[in-house]
Amino acid sequence: MLLPIKVSHEKEKLAWQFIWGTTNTACKVSIIKWESCYQPVESGGLGIRRLEVQNKSFLYKLCIALLTKENDLWVQVLRYKYRFGNGCPVSTAKPGCLYIWRSLSRVWAQFRSKYLLVTGRCVQFWMDTWVPDVGPLSDLFPGMVAGIEDLRVSNVVDSLGNRRWDFLAVLLDISTFLRITFNPPPGETAGPDRCIWRWTSLGQFSVSTAYKHLVAECFARAVWVKLVPNSLHGAFFSGELSFWLTNKIPNVTHVSLLNVQWEVLFAIVCWRLWKQQNAVVFQQKHRSTEDFVASCWSWAASVHKAADLRL
C-alpha cells in the first residue's frame, strides 16, 4: 500500500536517530546531511534508500503483476472485483475501493508512462506509450485528440499491412513521424497487447530499475525547485514546453548577477539532466543538487561570456 508522506518521514526520522545514536535521553548532532546518506556507498554515502521512492517501486511491481500475471489468484480477484478489463487502461480509479486499490490507482498514471506497448492490435494510438522515448501522444498533441480518442494503432494500417503515412503526417510533427518509421506496424496475426518495461534490455520489470529512475526524477525536480521561484512552481511544473521557453523566469538565486539568459540556462540544465540520469542508471554515479546547479550556472555564464567576446 502507498504509505502517507508523513508516515514515510517519521520512519526516516527514526532511522536517522538510530544511525546517529539519538535516544530519549540524549540527542546527538548529525555530522553530515541526511541527503548524503541516500547516496551509494561508492559515492561516499551510506546507501540508504528513500522510503517514499522504494514504496512506489514496490507498488509498480504490483501494477505489472496485474497486467502480466493473470493466472495468480489475487490478480484474478482484483481484476474481477474492479472490472479491470483487457489491455492497459488509462485509469483504474474506482469509488469505494480497498486502500490497496486506491494506492495502485494513485501511481497508475505515472506507471503507464514507464511502459512501452509494442505488440497487439488493441494498442491505443493516443493514450498508450507505443513510440520509443516519446510517451503518450496525447501529451504531445492534446489538440488533435478530440473526436478520435478511441483510435487504435491498428487503425492507421492499411489492408496491405503498411502504415497510412498520409494520415499520420497530418496528425504528428516530423520528429514523432520519423520515430514511428522505426516501429513495425501490427499485423493481422498480432497477439494480445503486451506490456514491456522500458528501462531494461529484455523488457523485464525489476524494483531496482524502477527505484533508479524514480530517484532520477526526484533529482530533476529538486534542480528546478532551486532555479524557479516558489511563486511559479505550480505554473512551471504543470506548464508545457512553450511556457518554459517563452517565459522569462525571474530567479531568486541571483542567476541574473551572472548575466545568464534563461533560455541558455534552461537548455543546459535539460541536457545535463539527461546525462545525469544516464550516469545514475548505467554507472551508479550520483551528485548533489547544489553541485549540479552550480555547474550549470558556470556553463551558462561561459556561453554568455563567449557571446560577448564574439561581439
pLDDT tens digits along 212-263: 888 877 788 888 888 887 777 777 777 666 667 666 665 444 444 456 777 7
Instruction: For the chain, report the end-to-end CA distance as a whole number of angstroms.
Output: 59
220 and 299 housed in the same domain: yes
Q: Is 202 a member of any domain? A: no
Do the domain assignments include residue 145? yes
Give the chain's mean pLDDT: 78
Domain final residue pick, 144, 171, 197: 197
Residue 207 has pLDDT above 80, yes or no: yes
Q: What angle do CA 225, 229, 230 make, to 5 degrees?
A: 80
Number of C-beta neighbours around residue 18 at 10 A: 10
Residue 73 has pLDDT above 90, yes or no: yes
- pLDDT at position 203 over 70: yes
Domain boundary among 197, 230, 264: 197
- pLDDT value at position 121? 64
d(CA 26, CA 42): 31
Residue 232 is assigned to a structural domain of this protein:
yes
Q: Where are the alpha helices (DSSP H) in 83-206?
A: 99-112, 137-140, 165-171, 174-180
The model's confidence at residue 5, banded by pLDDT at 50, 70 and 90, is confident
Residues 38 and 99 in one domain: no
Q: Which of 94-98, 105-109, 119-123, 171-175 has the lowest mean pLDDT?
A: 119-123
Q: What pLDDT shows up at residue 257?
A: 45
Nearest to 157, CA basis, from 133, 135, 188: 188
Q: What is the mean pLDDT of residues 164-192?
A: 76
Indicate whether 166 belongs to any domain.
Answer: yes
**Structural domain range at position 92:** 54-197
Instruction: Looking at the structure, tell me whether residues 169 and 59 fall in a common domain.
Output: yes
Query: Is residue 19 included in any domain, yes or no?
Result: yes
Does 79 share its domain with 157?
Answer: yes
pLDDT above 90 for 174 = no
Q: Which range among 158-172, 231-245, 264-278 has the greatest average pLDDT? A: 264-278
- 155 and 108 in a common domain: yes
Give mean pLDDT, residues 285-310: 78
Interval 52-59 mean pLDDT: 90
Question: Are 190 and 267 within one domain?
Answer: no
Top mean pLDDT of 38-52, 58-72, 141-155 is at: 58-72
How far is CA 122 from each of CA 150, 154, 282, rounded to the nearest angstrom? 10, 7, 33
Q: Are 210 and 113 in contact (CB under 8 A)?
A: no
Q: What is the pLDDT of residue 196?
A: 77
- pLDDT at position 279 is 81
C-alpha cell at position 173: 510533427
pLDDT score at 159: 77
Domain boundary among 197, 228, 245: 197
Beta strands of the chain (E only): which ranges? 115-119, 194-197
Q: How much is the pTM?
A: 0.70
Tell me the mean pLDDT in the region 137-157: 80
223 lies in the same domain as 283 = yes
Residue 149 lies in a domain: yes
Same domain membership, residue 84 and residue 163: yes
In a domain, 133, yes or no: yes
Residue 58: which pLDDT band, with cuts at 50, 70 and 90? very high
Lowest mean pLDDT among 66-75, 86-95, 162-171: 86-95
> Are 167 and 82 found together in one domain?
yes
Tell me if 298 is assigned to some domain: yes
Residues 165 and 237 in one domain: no
Instruction: Say if residue 72 is in the same domain as residue 160.
Output: yes
| Domain count within the chain | 3
Amino acid (one-letter) located at 215: V
Same domain flag for 128 and 112: yes
- Bridge-partner residues for 163, per DSSP? 157
